[in-house]
Structure 1
């Protein structure tokens, strides 16, 4: 314990929120027990596991490892970004590594074009969701390699072509006479094919499990894609696929995304021991989150409730709450330090919205108030502290 900390108040803190003997830990265990019979669907960056509940055997789908054609299609879709990156490399250092990188990319484009064929996509890659389109995919890949090779050859001969305007006008965007299909369209097509294949297999697997979606506990754990991606319902593609697989009968408030939670490695050789061991941990994660959400409605009844199903993303964070029957999706705007309806509404929001930090109900407002008052804490009104009629220190008795 640090010398500046109060041991008595630290013990008060841990009585609720820290350690296996705390109130919070006991509540998580109790909540998990209450949901022990519900199906739990856990999604990681590579796998999907269904714990049916009541001790029934689990099932795992290694959807990432079984994704045929992902890297091959990504290789094509990345060509646009690769050329844009070469532009940046040249801009930063015209005498640097851009030329060697461009020559290597040219080599790989030529090798890929030579290896590409209808037979490759039909007989070797053989993604089920691509059946019937193999010839069209091979034609698209051939064209993508050809126009990329053409741009690289011109840029290597004349480096002044390595600028973003030329890249957009002569490669990425519609309208150039020598570009019957712009590369932007190819990027959309390749991303769509990958997403369609993922979704096709996940939907088929979920259908085969006969999941009771109304009772399902769904949690997405760990990193999904790049470190900053997939941390909300709107940005997590796998979560969107699960919702689609349920035919949107899975209530959105039963799906939680936990990017920092521990997942499991893809089972090797049919060994499911690690996945089995994590079931109680993951059930407590979901149930502990759920019970906190439910506390928000119980503690702050009579204030606007949180709903994850908002369809107005352009207005998030800009709404002013005025009535208890309103639905909120992000922090509503605080009009003044005395705007208690909004301040308490925010308390309910951070409890009911699992994306929120519980202590963050008014953090943004505090920061903005400091900016407006020259970063002088004494010039800021602290809601609930300043100008409140507290009795004199020590004058209140706790006796009944």
Structure 2
């Protein structure tokens, strides 16, 4: 989350001392950063005020009273969204009265192609609902900006004839020129380009278009997405957070994030059917394609006793639905991702753990796992340097492939990783 010392919005004042001490540069934040502001700063205040922060959409008056009126300006001017659309469609809060999305586009074929693309990335691409909604809002801004510049929202029509390609490329570059002027960061500009280019590629694959006018558009601009390295908790910080657990549920939450490397959404929806407590190879099992960027099985090197005890305790409940973090009030039967975030942050607050001036998020626990795993692999390779020298090889990777069997390599890697986890979790 990006925070600045001064705010660009003159009306962003509050009688709340905590909010008054923070100033947000709303106009420089992309949608992901605005979502972080909600879960890290706004949601806890909503909870303290008696609202359900997973469901209740903040009103403009509430946002203004608590010093967040600047978010409405940023959403309107930079993301073409109302606060309600943002909280419902992007953050994922529930609103029974919310209307169905309207593209406000007159060209029916273009609307159908936009809807078909979103359906495809959700059903075939396995994208999360929040990701689909982000694509939807960026495509809507693309279409409306195109219409304002060129007087039409029939985006498919010029794509049917190759002789129109040079002119259409220029029209699309003109849209990007507008984004270059109104969006504050290169990363935001590249995100809009990526989504629009992906849609054009989709309609070309589906034979609604003969070319993609944005296929080489990235070469026209000097946009760079220089991102800081993702922050990870250290072993000592994990240990301090773990020392604050006050229930079996809290203990399992920290173990699942930092010792198994699960995503917050995977922790929230963890089910007993996924847990395989085989003595030789305890692991979690995920359905094919369920994890976009991870294996279908997650080895449980640490915390087997924690999850086993949790299952035993829940099994005694007559109405248990099988989720390891069950919820009676949720329609899904398990706690929400925001509940995982809130509980982890509460533990981190009690442990007085701070990363870059902020309370760490659950993702930082997952990043600890990745950081520890990379270190473990590196240490295994370092241990083979002597063998490589004796073999006359300049590469420990070659020795790893030729000197150790796959099973020996696996045992060595797991042994090192267990030592890393033991360092973090042993009190």
Q: What TM-score does the superposition give when structure 2 sets the normalisation length?
A: 0.24
Instruction: Select the structure of larger CA radius of gyration.
Output: 1
Pick 1 or 2: higher relative contact order, CA cutoff 8 A, min separation 6.
1
Higher helix share: 2
Higher strand share: 1
